[in-house]
Structure 1
């Protein structure tokens, strides 16, 4: 496993070398309890119906844009979020969101495991403490066709509303999270695809 630090973002990104044994190990975790045996972390798989509700799509079509996206599950039990971002009609984003089916415990680290396409995505977290349309956001800088882990602390997230930073917003506590989503924006037009495996919370 190679660890690298992104100068523009404080979170840590790890590149995972995946072999047959690793892939089998990942598949064997699907459907397992959320808590680890030591109860030091909570692991959620994005395609596990006991971990998340149905995933919803929200594109720029709500504002007159024509971007398109879809979600599906691949053979590796990962959630595939893909589509095409268009800048027509002042559009330029596509997103998906779901709700956690388990209460998150008090934790200090969030680790996302995903395989991207070299584009930058947003991980978006929501809590009951935010107003409608607001979200805690952080950037996920992916490497094309490479499975990576991205680790965040609550301080890595800022509150945004329709692309604008919100001041005087409540601080993020991971135990307050009830929804999670992903968004491709920043006018990154063209096709996109990200393979979402899991999110883990560590004490």
Structure 2
């Protein structure tokens, strides 16, 4: 069974409703199921992401982990509503450089994680993401945390790295696709306010899920 996992119910609600998935758990995380898809809403942040996905992988037979949700961006080539296939995934608050590791790398773990290969990859914009529990929303924070990473980072969130590292530990194929909510440093980056944007994003996310299932 494929797992669609995200931080907020609002991001996945349209897909959950479309596939008529029924809530089957609301303990560690909220889990919804139909005959071929499991949806999980973990809550926001790296630890919630890792704990929620670990719980699912310990209790359900999952063939592939797919993280879909909304994310900010720090790349002026992107715009609100763009759909991005995530290539490489970094931790923007991990700094063990004093021990010889790259900035963004957890000690004794890979320098980054990657989305699994898929024919749909070429259908979307391809970019890298950095995650942390820091909500990055201005250029000063980008310069402080993101520019240190030795790869071009375009997308920012608070969960993807937690999902990716957990999937890596459990040896499950992992894919992440993001709908851009706003772009730091762009004048019209938030042309549609978030409360309205999340409805638009929900429809975009549903289209992605249809393509992946």
The TM-score with structure 2 as length reference comes to 0.28
Answer 1 or 2: which has greater helix percent.
Answer: 2
Decide which structure has greater strand share.
1
